[in-house]
Amino acid sequence: MGEVSFVEVSKHFTLHVDNEVHHVQALDRVSFAVRDGEIVALIGPSGCGKTTALRVAMGLDPANSGRVTVDGREVRGCGHDRGMVFQHAELLPWMNAMQNVMFGLEMKGVRGKQLRETAERYLDLVGLGNSKNRRPHQLSGGMKQRVGIARALAIDPKVLLMDEPFGALDAQTRETLQVELLEIHARTKKTILFVTHDLDEAVLIADRIVVMQSGRVDDIVEVPLSRPRGDLSIVRGLPEFNEVRYKIWRMLHSAPTVH
Amino acid sequence: MADIAEPQKKSAAVSNNETAERRQTPRWVITVASVAVVLIIWEIVGRQINPVFGSYPTAIAAAFWELLISGQLGAALYDSLRPFVLGYGLAIVVGIPVGLVVGRFRVAEAALGLYVTAGYAMPLVALVPLLILWLGLGFAVKVAVVFLMSLFPIIINTWLGVVAVPKTLIEVGKSFVAPDLVILRRIILPATLPYIMAGIRLAVGRAVVAMVIAEFFTTISGLGAVIINSANNFDTATMFVPIIILMVMAIGLNWLIGWVERRVAPWQAEISGRDRE
């Protein structure tokens, strides 16, 4: 199981810019739910609060009011029921790929033979079985993020939280990883909540798309594309793909946004 | 202190220059040439000067040989190195954890930070008489002077290093529910290593100076005694022997620290590309 609910989640920051105090309402009564095994994308212009929402769900930032629950249990700080994939992978540079994946597992208390075997299994899953002894700077951007995904999946979380995981990659690598993520999802059936600013990516991957503007949920859009969607060249040509894409594109471009 | 870091980098290239297939002069050749030029100029100029006011390499080499075969040099070196090694070693052992704690914990930084900053600027020479009153004239006071002089650069560098650790790396630890101590040991410590090594390196120069100061102001002993005695006898060539030994020692230690750094933090040289230089 892996259901995530945002219930009236609000979060504000105080910023000090040149002696002026700015109050930023990052999240304003955000409510939505992610069903078990579903992929939900959070999309919106920069500063709309999508990353903040993810960080609150991870437990890295506390909400000022409202709550996030995972399978009915309220999120209070980080936990092994959620696995985080960071924007720039954030691998520990002094550890090789294998050790990076093992780090998460060790923190969960996995030891000995099981530790190595689990880490190896997940590196194989992301196609890095042959590069497990490389350190992060010896890996390409796409490989780094594969390790990041393996590290998060290895602890067998109920929910995978991804913060613009492919945003820093070149277009081709990004597409390869999008297909791989869909394959991984088909095999593991994990619930995935991911943040993106790439509209195509959201429509290609997600079952539903949460559109955010200035800290609020603007709309939640169903993506009427069947799975598996392995061949993106076909999916991209479907009228449904373009309809949903255009619908959200209009939403994002109609409302005045604050940058 | 930059002059201390330079020879280390040059010697670092010695082991790696096989890969430098580009048409570039290897670093060690430049270093050797530089040393040769300086020695030749010194020799020519030095011979023109009254031997009381200056000396020159061959005279210093002769004085070195004399000190060496008389056994005086070995004894002095042993006398000097004992407090040096102990004081400097203690500074490393104490300085790194203190720097980590001051950098990591807000309360520690607010409570102790200013003493560290003030301690770094402390005119230690002025405090030596007080240290003598507390610790006497012997071994202990020398250890204390070396320790106090080399402690603060190590703390400050470690502290700065902790502050510079990217927040996201700490969040990686948090998101996998790593306890504070694990985050400190397995994320912050390795991320801070390059800063710590730089601090240890800066401390070498200060420790050497501290050692000589201690030997001048407490019981006159070791290499410091050789300097003072030969200066009093207007034997300038002999006076230069321990000075040059100390400088060579600093270069050697610096190289050793660089070697240790490449062993404990190999990813650092790989990231900066220095391993292929």
pTM of the predicted model, to two decimals? 0.81
Residues 6 or more apart whose Cβ sits within 8 Å of residue B91: B146, B147, B150, B151, B154, B203, B207
Q: Does B33 touch chain A (CB under 8 A)?
A: no
In chain A, domain spans = 4-81+158-254, 91-156
Asked whether residue B98 is assigned to any structural domain, the reply reads: yes
**Locus of tokens 């691998």:** A91
CB contact under 8 A, A107 and B178: yes
CB A93 within 8 A of CB A137: yes
**Locus of tokens 């102790």:** B112
What pLDDT, on a 0 to 100 scale, did the predictor assign at position B101?
92
Q: Does B263 touch chain A (CB under 8 A)?
A: no
Asked whether residue B51 is assigned to any structural domain, the reply reads: no
Closest CA to A40 of A185, A157, A257, A239: A185
For A26-51, the pLDDT digits (tens) are: 999 999 999 999 999 999 988 889 99
Name the percent of chain B lying above pLDDT 90.
47
Which residues in chain A have Cβ-Cβ distances shorter than 8 Å to B270?
Answer: 135, 137-138
Asked whether residue B236 is assigned to any structural domain, the reply reads: yes
**Which chain A residue has its CA at the smallest distance from B192's CA?**
A94
Which residues on adjacent β-strands are paired with residue A219?
Answer: A211
HSE value, Cβ hemisphere, 13 Å, CA-based, for B269:
18
Q: Which of residues 105-124 of A touch B (CB under 8 A)?
A: 107-108
In a mutational test of the B interface, the residue from A90, A101, A145 whose CB has the highest number of chain B CBs within 10 Å is A90
Measured between alpha carbons, how far is A169 from B38 in angstroms, rounded to an integer? 52
Structural domains counted in chain B: 1
CB contact under 8 A, B267 and A93: yes
**Which chain B residue has its CA at the smallest distance from A87's CA?**
B168
- Confidence band for A10, pLDDT divided at 50, 70 and 90: very high
Q: Does B121 touch chain A (CB under 8 A)?
A: no
Asked whether residue B214 is assigned to any structural domain, the reply reads: yes
Asked whether residue B168 is assigned to any structural domain, the reply reads: yes
CB contact under 8 A, A107 and B176: yes
In angstroms and rounded to an integer, the radius of gyration of the C-alpha atoms of chain A is 18
Q: Nearest CA to CA, how far is B91 from chain A (Å)?
A: 26
What pLDDT, on a 0 to 100 scale, did the predictor assign at position B128?
87
Q: Supply the CATH number for residue B122's domain.
A: 1.10.3720.10
CB B236 within 8 A of CB B53: yes
Asked whether residue B19 is assigned to any structural domain, the reply reads: no
What CATH topology corresponds to A4-81+158-254?
A: Rossmann fold (3.40.50)
Which residues in chain A have Cβ-Cβ distances shorter than 8 Å to B178?
Answer: 107
Q: Does A103 touch chain B (CB under 8 A)?
A: yes
Q: Does A134 touch chain B (CB under 8 A)?
A: no
Domain boundaries, position B111: 2-8+71-272
Asked whether residue B141 is assigned to any structural domain, the reply reads: yes
For B59-90, the pLDDT digits (tens) are: 899 999 988 899 888 898 998 999 999 999 99
- Tell me how many degrees the CA angle A85-A91-A97 measures, rounded to the nearest 5: 105
For B97-125, the pLDDT digits (tens) are: 999 999 999 899 999 999 999 988 888 88
Strands (E), chain B: none
Asked whether residue B196 is assigned to any structural domain, the reply reads: yes
